[in-house]
């Protein structure tokens, strides 16, 4: 199995970012010298193809990141939509500077091939809906190709971000080798890959029989055909890790296995060698360094670009895991029942304070009355509620050795009793913390599941305050979840003829839930009815949650 997925996706966007602190390459020096000397390079025409299908909010950001590119070049943006419907058609009519086509196709790669055939640029690239170019990207690319006529393929650096455009990782471009592509994966990103027109003129297009790895197969074919590649160590694009990208799906691994079998890349020892070779190349290129990434990106329903800044590494898996964790925390949150976010720096600050106090108190008392270990044990119990499990385990180990030090001059029986008590207390605190984390994880997963359900559902607490409105309910009510959270939901009975009857308070339903359809109203006992709904109950006691399944008004 490849260690990292081939970077194929169904839509992404990207934005500009300041170059992170790193060594400046030869191209940057030539670029600066050219600007200072006033030299102008020949205008390069760049064609950008964007495949689209039911991702109009992301497509708007993608198109904006192409439209705001400035420099000494020409650009055409070809958007091929697979039939997203009225929302795309309405947006396309208002577009300026982009050619929009909407027609059924056989998938993302077929749409890209169609764009390749229609493109008129000397340099060709594709940018998925959920990807964006960083400011100045096309100017850098145009200058590079003008100054390096012998280069056919250019690979640039990419910043991985979540759906809030917060940086997750900085992926340094490393020149892909045939062995690594065949035996493992394509290490570069399509969002930052640019190819000269002459590669297409020789008939090298994407193989549409593949649904996730066609870009890897395509690059492999180009390199085998003798086209020359190069890397540009500057951030050119952002790759949004939405969790729904094709390059992160199970289908990718199945296609990788099939392609490896067809190409004869099945030798496990050769695979290990090419993976080791790739990692060494990444190390020499500085791909594993921590970098402070500063970028500006378009966020859905938020214009203009928004600045983001964070220290990140170059690792794929931590970025993927962090994106998934952040997505789960966000989707699994209940309004009014928020789960505390645990921060490591607060945990370690508290631990340092507890150790200082324990040492100071034990320096004041005399005899066998040892207070320090007791203080540390109480601190550990407190942290079991408020710290991450790994932090808690490390703090418990440090507390044990701290207590050992504090007890070194005391009788052996006192030391044994105190340390045993600390170990037992620490074990119970860790066990309790682990079970609490599992409960919180279950709550988050339940919230995320309800939000993704196709049936429109609103959840309230026992007082009637809305704590969750899933995506289907927000679409049904034509509003955002924040408009409904923590607002009081009032209920009215509906007569058989559909007229609104007497009001009913939620706390009055504790004995038996009504079986008939109810009318829902927000905040006021009078006013227009929000929706019709049937009610169901989750849990019991003070934590009862009432669910309302919405129906057509």
How many angstroms separate the CA atoms of 305 and 324, rounded? Answer: 24
If one compares 473 and 12, the residue with the highest pLDDT of the two is: 473
Indicate the average pLDDT of the chain. 84
Tell me if 549 sits within 8 A of 536, measured CB to CB. yes
Nearest residue to 278 via CA among 158, 171, 141, 153: 171
pLDDT > 50? residue 14: no
Going by the DSSP 8-state scheme, the letter that residue 130 receives in this structure is B
> Two tokens at 275?
């993976």
Task: Determine the pLDDT at residue 407.
Answer: 83
pLDDT > 50? residue 131: yes
> What would the mean pLDDT of 53-80 be, rounded to a whole number?
93
Q: How many CA atoms lie within 13 A of 70 on its CB side?
A: 1
Task: Determine the pLDDT at residue 436.
Answer: 86
pLDDT band at 498 (very low <50, low <70, confident <90, very high): low
pLDDT band at 18 (very low <50, low <70, confident <90, very high): very low
If one compares 233 and 251, the residue with the highest pLDDT of the two is: 233
Task: Determine the pLDDT at residue 222.
Answer: 96
Query: Per DSSP, what are the bridge partners of residue 158?
Result: 171, 237
Task: Determine the pLDDT at residue 338.
Answer: 57
Determine phi and psi for 125, rounding to 5 degrees. Answer: -155, 165
Task: Determine the pLDDT at residue 508.
Answer: 66
The number of beta carbons lying within 10 Å of the beta carbon of residue 61 is: 27
pLDDT > 70? residue 365: no
pLDDT > 80? residue 494: no
Task: Determine the pLDDT at residue 437.
Answer: 84
391-399: long-range pairs with CB below 8 Å, 24+? 391/342, 391/344, 391/347, 391/348, 392/347, 392/429, 392/430, 392/433, 393/430, 395/347, 395/348, 395/351, 396/426, 396/429, 396/430, 398/351, 398/355, 399/351, 399/354, 399/355, 399/426
Residues 6+ apart with CB under 8 A from 388: 342, 344, 347
- Per-residue CA distances from 263 to 183, 400, 538 (Å): 9, 56, 54
How many angstroms separate the CA atoms of 199 and 217, rounded? Answer: 14
Task: Determine the pLDDT at residue 42.
Answer: 64
pLDDT band at 29 (very low <50, low <70, confident <90, very high): very low
> What would the mean pLDDT of 290-302 be, rounded to a whole number?
89
> Two tokens at 146?
């003008």
Looking at mean pLDDT, say which of 46-60, 87-101, 353-367, 443-457 comes out highest. Answer: 46-60
pLDDT > 80? residue 512: no
Convert 436-494 into a string of H (helix), E (strand) and C (coil).
HHHHHHHHHHHHHHHHHCCCCEEEECCCCEEEEECHHHHHHHCCCHHHCCCCEEEEEEE
pLDDT band at 223 (very low <50, low <70, confident <90, very high): very high
Query: Per DSSP, what are the bridge partners of residue 465?
Result: 488
pLDDT > 70? residue 372: yes
Instruction: Give the tens place of pLDDT for each residue, 71-85.
Output: 999 999 999 998 888
pLDDT > 70? residue 246: no
pLDDT band at 296 (very low <50, low <70, confident <90, very high): very high
If one compares 386 and 308, the residue with the highest pLDDT of the two is: 308
Task: Determine the pLDDT at residue 3.
Answer: 41
pLDDT > 50? residue 414: yes
- Fold (topology level) of 13-326: Spore Coat Polysaccharide Biosynthesis Protein SpsA; Chain A (3.90.550)
pLDDT > 60? residue 41: no
Q: What percent of the chain stands above pLDDT 70?
A: 86
Task: Determine the pLDDT at residue 244.
Answer: 67
pLDDT > 60? residue 20: no
Task: Determine the pLDDT at residue 341.
Answer: 64
Burial class (CB in 10 A: 0-12, 13-18, 19+), 377: buried
Tell me if 22 sits within 8 A of 289, measured CB to CB. yes
User: How many Å separate Cα 257 from the centre of its chain?
Assistant: 26
> What would the mean pLDDT of 383-387 be, rounded to a whole number?
88
> Two tokens at 388?
């991450």
Tell me if 9 sits within 8 A of 62, measured CB to CB. no
Task: Determine the pLDDT at residue 47.
Answer: 97
Residues 6+ apart with CB under 8 A from 390: none
Task: Determine the pLDDT at residue 541.
Answer: 72
How many angstroms separate the CA atoms of 399 and 376, rounded? Answer: 6
> Two tokens at 550?
């919405």
Tell me if 29 sits within 8 A of 148, measured CB to CB. no
The number of beta carbons lying within 10 Å of the beta carbon of residue 100 is: 20
> What would the mean pLDDT of 49-73 be, rounded to a whole number?
93
Q: What is the DSSP string of 68-89?
A: T--SSEEEEEEEEES---HHHH
Instruction: Give the tens place of pLDDT for each residue, 167-188.
Output: 999 999 999 999 999 999 999 9
Task: Determine the pLDDT at residue 349.
Answer: 92
Going by the DSSP 8-state scheme, the letter that residue 103 receives in this structure is -
- Fold (topology level) of 457-551: Beta-Lactamase (3.30.450)
Q: What is the DSSP string of 280-341?
A: HHHHHTTTTS-EEEEEEEEETTEEEEEEEEEEEBS-HHHHHHHHHHHHHHHHT--TTSPPPP
pLDDT > 80? residue 272: yes
pLDDT > 50? residue 515: yes
The domain locations on the chain are 13-326, 344-449, 457-551
């Amino acid at each position: 199995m490849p260690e990292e997925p081939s970077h194929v996706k169904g839509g992404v966007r990207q934005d500009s970012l300041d170059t992170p602190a790193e060594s400046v390459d030869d191209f940057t020096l030539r670029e600066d010298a050219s600007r200072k000397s006033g030299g102008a390079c020949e205008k390069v025409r760049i064609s950008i193809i964007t495949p689209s299908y039911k991702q109009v909010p992301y497509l708007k950001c993608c198109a904006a990141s192409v439209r705001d590119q400035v420099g000494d070049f020409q650009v055409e943006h070809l958007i091929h939509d697979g039939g997203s419907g009225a929302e795309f058609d309405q947006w396309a009519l208002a577009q300026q500077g982009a050619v929009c086509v909407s027609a059924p196709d056989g998938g993302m790669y077929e749409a890209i091939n169609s764009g390749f055939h229609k493109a008129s640029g000397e340099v060709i690239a594709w940018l998925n809906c959920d990807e964006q170019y960083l400011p100045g990207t096309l100017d850098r690319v145009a200058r590079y190709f003008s100054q390096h006529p012998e280069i056919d393929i250019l690979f640039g650096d990419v910043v991985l971000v979540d759906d809030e455009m917060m940086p997750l990782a900085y992926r340094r471009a490393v020149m892909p080798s045939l062995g690594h592509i065949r035996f493992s994966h394509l290490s570069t990103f399509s969002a930052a890959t640019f190819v000269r027109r002459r590669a297409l003129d020789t008939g090298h297009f994407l193989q549409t029989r593949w649904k996730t790895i066609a870009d890897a197969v395509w690059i492999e074919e180009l390199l085998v055909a003798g086209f020359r590649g190069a890397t540009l160590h500057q951030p050119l694009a952002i790759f949004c890790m939405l969790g729904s990208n094709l390059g992160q799906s199970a289908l990718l691994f199945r296609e990788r296995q099939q392609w490896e079998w067809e190409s004869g890349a099945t030798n496990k020892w050769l695979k290990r060698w090419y993976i080791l070779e790739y990692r060494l190349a990444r190390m020499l290129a500085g791909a594993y360094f921590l970098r402070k990434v500063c970028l500006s990106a378009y966020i859905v329903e938020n214009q203009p670009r928004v600045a983001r800044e964070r220290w990140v590494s170059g690792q794929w898996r931590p970025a993927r895991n962090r994106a998934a964790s952040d997505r789960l925390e966000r989707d699994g949150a209940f309004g009014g029942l928020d789960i505390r976010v645990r921060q490591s720096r607060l945990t370690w600050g508290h631990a340092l304070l507890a150790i200082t106090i324990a040492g100071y108190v034990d320096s004041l008392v005399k005899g066998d009355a040892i207070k320090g270990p007791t203080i540390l044990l109480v601190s550990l119990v407190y942290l079991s509620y408020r710290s991450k499990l790994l932090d808690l385990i490390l703090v418990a180990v440090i507390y044990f050795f701290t207590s050992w030090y504090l007890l070194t001059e005391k009788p052996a029986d006192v030391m044994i009793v105190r340390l045993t008590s600390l170990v037992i207390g620490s074990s119970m605190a860790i066990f309790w913390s682990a079970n609490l984390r599992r409960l919180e994880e279950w709550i988050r997963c339940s919230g995320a599941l309800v939000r993704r359900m196709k049936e429109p559902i609103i959840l309230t607490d026992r007082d009637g305050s809305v704590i969750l409105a899933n995506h289907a309910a927000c679409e049904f009510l034509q509003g955002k979840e924040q408009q409904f959270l923590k607002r009081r939901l009032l209920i009215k009975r509906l007569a058989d003829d559909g007229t609104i009857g007497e009001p009913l308070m939620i706390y009055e339903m504790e004995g038996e839930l009504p079986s008939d359809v109810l009318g829902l109203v927000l905040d006021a006992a009078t006013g227009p009815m929000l929706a019709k709904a049937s009610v169901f109950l989750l849990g019991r006691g003070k934590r009862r949650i009432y669910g309302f399944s919405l129906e057509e008004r």
